[in-house]
Amino acid sequence: MTAHVRVARVVAAPADLVWAVLTDWERQGDWIPATRVRAMNADAVGGRIEAWTGLGPVGFLDTMEITLWDPPRRCEVLHTGRLVNGPGAFDVQPLGPAGCRVVWEEHVDLPFGVAGRVGWLVVRPFARAGLAAALRRLDSVVVSWPDGRSSRRGGRRRRPRPAWSRRQWSGRRRRNHCV
């Protein structure tokens, strides 16, 4: 069975700026709660993304491959992890020169058979609330982005990652994943 979650938010910023912040993969932890992201060639079809969602050692690794790249409008990924599988997408719809609507959609193949379907009834409201909270945080990150530019264009510099973060990730590398 496939579970579906879709959230949307209007952001008071130009679509191209929102796209730049949205697809600055390594900075997604600034707006997606309890998530750290690494990417490899993630600005084209075939690019790979790894996201660790959790607190400390408790969480899961979500691996993805970009299947559609249409900047600054749409990015589709295929989740390929052990726990999360299925397509997902970010869609940025311009609403004029100073605003856009961001839609985040996930279609997840539920693991664990009947137990997964029953568990989804409990997890779904939390999953939806988490995605909605992330989009609210995205809105505030975009609005406060220095000079209205992403770090890819010379805006705010990335903050250094703590040493514990690098050590924790180093043991999680597997073949066919981002390095």
Burial grade of 27 (CB within 10 A; 0-12, 13-18, 19 or more): buried
Amino acid (one-letter) located at 91: D
Of residues 132 and 171, more confidence is placed in 132
- How many helical (H) and strand (E) elements, i.e. helices and strands, does the chain have? 3, 7
Say if residue 5's pLDDT is above 80: yes
In a domain, 177, yes or no: no
In the DSSP assignment, the letter for residue 36 is: E
CA atoms of 101 and 156, how far apart (whole Å): 24
- Count CB neighbours of 116 within 10 A: 15
pLDDT at residue number 94: 97
Asked whether the CA dihedral 169, 174, 177, 178 is positive or negative, the reply is positive
Q: What Cα–Cα distance (Å) separates residue 74 from each residue in 18, 41, 66, 92, 174?
A: 12, 17, 11, 6, 28
- Domain range enclosing 34: 2-170
pLDDT at residue number 171: 43
Alpha helices, DSSP H, located in 31-172: 113-144, 163-170
CA atoms of 6 and 108, how far apart (whole Å): 11
pLDDT interval class at 148 (50, 70, 90): low
**pLDDT, tens digit (0-9, with 9 covering 90-100), for 15-57:** 999 999 999 999 999 999 999 999 999 999 999 999 999 988 8
Say if residue 135's pLDDT is above 60: yes
In a domain, 42, yes or no: yes
In a domain, 122, yes or no: yes
State the CATH number of the domain containing residue 136: 3.30.530.20
CA atoms of 48 and 42, how far apart (whole Å): 6
In a domain, 34, yes or no: yes
In a domain, 147, yes or no: yes
pLDDT at residue number 113: 85
pLDDT interval class at 82 (50, 70, 90): confident
Q: How many domains does the chain have?
A: 1
In the DSSP assignment, the letter for residue 45 is: T
Q: Which of 27-31, 114-118, 132-136, 159-163 has the lowest mean pLDDT?
A: 159-163
In a domain, 179, yes or no: no
pLDDT at residue number 146: 62
Q: Which residues are paired to 178 by β-bridges?
A: none
Tokens of 170: 């180093």
